[in-house]
Every structure is written in structure tokens, then in C-alpha cells.
Structure 1
């Protein structure tokens, strides 16, 4: 059984190349893709060559097309969720501490050119990224804690994006499914990154462990998380009928030939709620800041 960090999908069409980093494997790296340099989009055939495994594609017209946010940092794709008007919650392992300054959030369900994505309209740069002190990037992912990060944006999220609360496991409605949204691959060896997908995981296929600070997902039935879904939230319904964040996708385990096929593991978000609130208070960005004035040069 192999343990693998859910490697953020490497955007080699942005970088010249992505070398292997600590706890990241060469076999998870995608082929070179051709990018439209002006719009920042990729042809759909490239994105789909060869996400959430077993997931359903979320189209722009779908009512839940705004339920997750795509993060690009250091040339890699991850998934995130808004918890304030300009703060996103995601995974710590999505970031290289030397490349935080190029982090952007994408508010669109697909990077494909056919979908209408245009980075000049649909992306927002990050002001800063806060990574939990307990997270150790040089330690095997299942041996470290604190795989949690906050992204502070340079402007508030679009008005039609929901802001989620972090839920308490004790308040989950009986029999609540996990609802997962992610921009990751559709299987361990295939394509699919850069397109938002969703799945439902039944209550008998996940376990919450407050002691281990984990949400463990049984992926043996062909549904779950994979490369690029890192940082994406599992949403559950609480006893008041509100959708809240339960876990943040961290890593997968499985045989070498199909590492996403056995078990998905998320960091239990509620165990880090004190850290989340403290960092937001310290950053002083708990309230939204105005959207910047449009740059005429960028619209040409």
C-alpha cells in the first residue's frame, strides 16, 4: 500500500517544467500542455487527455458551479473554499514557501478555453498565504499534522460564491453524505485536472476521527479524491440543515499502479478552528476589501 500526498496538478504549460519535490512523485506529473497565453486557458482535449475520481462535471450553468475555488500556486493546481469574503481555506502542502507570491484564485469551474475561462476576468491574486506551523513539508504526508493553509486574497470573492463555516462532527445530521468538489484528476494515471467535479460519499463510506484529526474516505468503490483535489473541502449537512466544511483533502493511499483507488484522507477542519480564527484576526483581513479598479491594459 502506497501513501501519497495528493500532488497538486503540475501546470507545465505555465512552467518550463516541474521537478519532483519532497513527498511528490514523478509519476503524478502531467504531460506538457499548450496554453493560450492571453486568456490563460487550456484546450479541453488536453485537460481531458488519457478530478474527483468518479465525479460528475460541474458546468458553468449549474447552480453549484461556485461551490469551490481553484488555486494555482507555483504552477500547481489545488482546490479551496471561501470562509470569509477574501479568505480561502485549503491544504498546506499545496504551496512551496519560495513561490507563494504567484498564488492566484480562479473563480470559474473550468480552465478550458471552450468553457469561456479567461484569467483576466476570472482570477484574483493572493495577498498572502498562511501555513500552519505544525506542517512539515519534509516529512511523509501521513506522519505530519497541520496540513492546513489560509489564502488571503487581494479582493473579495464574487458575490455569488458561498462562504462556509467549519462544522463540528458532533453536529452532523444523521446519515449525512459527504459532498466533495475538486479540480483534480479523474484517476491516478489519467487527465481531468482543471475541470470542477463533484461526488457524494455515503455516510457508510467515511469515518471521522477527532483523535487523529482525520476524515477517512473509502475509495474502493471508484469515488473519491485524487491529484489536484488537495485542499478541497468535504461538505456535510448539520442538524440545522446548513452545509458546512468537515475536512480538507490531504492525501491518498493505494497500490502504486492506482494510488487513488483505496483510501482518501482529509484533515479534520474543526480541530484547527482556533488557529484559523487567530490567523484571520492577526492578518486583519477578516473583512472584505474593495475590488480593485479594472486595469485597462489587461482588458485589451
Structure 2
């Protein structure tokens, strides 16, 4: 299910989108911590009905990615998450979830009605050496979220420099290389770094971080550092209560295997795509049925 791409990187040879179809346990993600119940109400679990995907009747849903509620019937996620489905009905979002594999009596499951991938999204590496460029998608839902507090404000300040700012990443992604999904939603504070520093840390021969990306990093140390991992894709990067990024890609295995060290996690920069988001939402509001 996971596409691995080779890119021209001297210190590491492969990258991986942070999406996975996985079963669960109660182990934490890489150096994260349990989030308090309902502390990140915008976070959704994006789930895929495997049986529908292979043409069988019935339902068997798997968590594959995260996402964020930005309107009462719209979720923002990564394009590489949404493209997994051949038709929208194969996907649903679970809102107000906390324990992924338990019933908390707070969850609301809503099927997806329409998927819009960014028109210039390219899986993997494009010819200008960008990796997962325009990795962003909107999901229009069949119903509306019951709790309006689940809606998060999106970042509109494209020119704002957030370098050095401490922000929060959340998700049910793997706790480590070849490990398991946590039951409880995980969170971690991470620092935003500049595009230049991000490229230097990845040690690339040619630039592939551009203005549509935002990177977070908390140092390479294999004990104190951290990273998003498979299953976190599409999930939020939040700064000062505003949705700044959508989890896109990182190192295969989420660590450098030889040392266990970390590299930056890369997100689609929401403010860069604000115009595209607004255009799509306006088109829907006109009344496409």
C-alpha cells in the first residue's frame, strides 16, 4: 500500500508518505504523549473500508490518516491519503474520537461525499525535485459535524515567518519504526524550522523544499527528538490555535536506521494553499448537490 520513492539525497536514499493501513495497540508514537480527551477536537481519523475497495459487501474500516475539520461538512487532509480511494464512499471520517480502538460515546462517523485533490498534486518526486508537491485535499462530507467546536481556523498569513515557533502535532501514527498505532491520540510540541535549514538537514543535492512546505524538527537526538510517522499523514500542525500545516512526508521508518536519529517532518503549508481552499469551498457553496 505504501509507495517508496528514491530521491537524490546523500544521507538517506528513500522517503515515505506518512500513510498506513494498520492495526492497533496501546503504545505511544515516537516520543509523543497522550493528549487529554477532546483537547484537539479538529483532529479526525480518516478511515478506509477495505471490503468496499476490493468489491466485497460489508464494512471493515481501517485508520489510514488524519485530517482536520475546517467547515461543518469539510475536512482538510493530504492528497496522498485521499487518492487511496477509488470512490468517495470508501472513506469516512471519525470526529471527536480519542481512543481509536474503543468506544468513547463521543465519536461521530461521517461518510465522504466528494474528494478534491489539488490539481497540481504529484505523487512522489516531480521533475523539479520537489517531493510530494501540492499534497493537499478537501473532503466534502455526507453530513455535518455535530459539535461546531470541532472546526479549526486555517492559517491565512502566507508571508508570516513562523521559524522558531513552537507548535503542536497530533495523530494516531505509528509509535516507531515497524511498530504499532496507539489507541490514545498522541501529541508533541515541535519547532518550525526554515526551508533552508530543512534542506540542509535532509542534506539534499538539489532543492525540494519550497514555499508550499513547512518543516518541523526537534533535534536529531534519538531519545529527545521526535517525528510524525506512518498514519499521521493528513493530520494537523497547529500554531497558536490555527491550522498551519497538513502532515505530508518524512523519512522511511521515521528515523535514520543506522543511528536512530530524526530528520525534519514535512507538512503542506496551509496558508500557501488558502486561495485554492477558498475557491473550492466557494464552488461547493454555489450548490453542486
Same fold (TM over 0.5): yes
Contact in 1 for aligned 2:70/2:154 (Cα 8 Å): yes
Structure 1 residues 281 and 162: CA distance shift in structure 2, 3 A:
closer
User: Which of the residues 43, 48, 52 maps onto 2:26?
Assistant: 48
Structure 1 residues 7 and 175: CA distance shift in structure 2, 3 A:
closer
* Structure 2 counterpart of 1:240: none
Structure 1 residues 275 and 157: CA distance shift in structure 2, 3 A:
same
User: Which of the residues 218, 226, 229 maps onto 1:226?
Assistant: 229
The 2-side partners of 1:154 and 1:259 are apart by 43
Q: After superposition, what is the alpha-carbon deviation per residue over 1:143-195, rounded to whole angstroms, capped at 9, x for unaligned? A: 34110000111111231313222242544678531111112111122112453
The 2-side partners of 1:267 and 1:2 are apart by 22
The 1-side partners of 2:156 and 2:168 are apart by 14
Contact in 1 for aligned 2:18/2:247 (Cα 8 Å): no
1:244 to partner: Cα distance: 1.2
User: Which of the residues 18, 34, 39 maps onto 1:64?
Assistant: 39
3-state DSSP of counterpart to 2:76:
strand
1:72 to partner: Cα distance: 0.9
3-state DSSP of counterpart to 1:79:
strand
Are residues 1:10 and 2:21 paired?
A: yes
Are residues 1:134 and 2:120 paired?
A: yes
Are residues 1:101 and 2:99 paired?
A: no
Q: How does 1:194-205 map to 2 (within 5 A)?
A: 195-203=184-192
Contact in 2 for aligned 1:3/1:251 (Cα 8 Å): no
Unmatched segments (≥5 aa) in structure 2: 1-11, 50-61, 197-208
* Structure 2 counterpart of 1:182: 171
**Matched residue pairs, number?**
241
3-state DSSP of counterpart to 2:187:
strand
Structure 1 residues 122 and 97: CA distance shift in structure 2, 3 A:
closer
The 1-side partners of 2:70 and 2:20 are apart by 23
Q: After superposition, what is the alpha-carbon deviation per residue over 1:29-55, rounded to whole angstroms, capped at 9, x for unaligned? A: xxxx5xxxxxxxxxxxx4236x65211
User: Which of the residues 243, 246, 251 maps onto 2:244?
Assistant: 246
Structure 1 residues 9 and 188: CA distance shift in structure 2, 3 A:
same
The 2-side partners of 1:260 and 1:152 are apart by 38
Q: After superposition, what is the alpha-carbon deviation per residue over 1:235-258, rounded to whole angstroms, capped at 9, x for unaligned? A: 112xxxxx2121111100253568
The 2-side partners of 1:259 and 1:78 are apart by 24
1:138 to partner: Cα distance: 6.2
Structure 1 residues 157 and 256: CA distance shift in structure 2, 3 A:
same
Contact in 2 for aligned 1:184/1:195 (Cα 8 Å): no
Q: After superposition, what is the alpha-carbon deviation per residue over 1:204-247, rounded to whole angstroms, capped at 9, x for unaligned? A: xx22579442112225242221111101121112xxxxx21211
**Pairwise CA RMSD of aligned residues?**
3.1
Q: How does 1:199-214 map to 2 (within 5 A)?
A: 199-203=188-192, 206-207=193-194, 211-214=210-213
3-state DSSP of counterpart to 2:120:
coil
The 2-side partners of 1:182 and 1:138 are apart by 22
Q: After superposition, what is the alpha-carbon deviation per residue over 1:61-96, rounded to whole angstroms, capped at 9, x for unaligned? A: xx5142411111354521111111111111000022
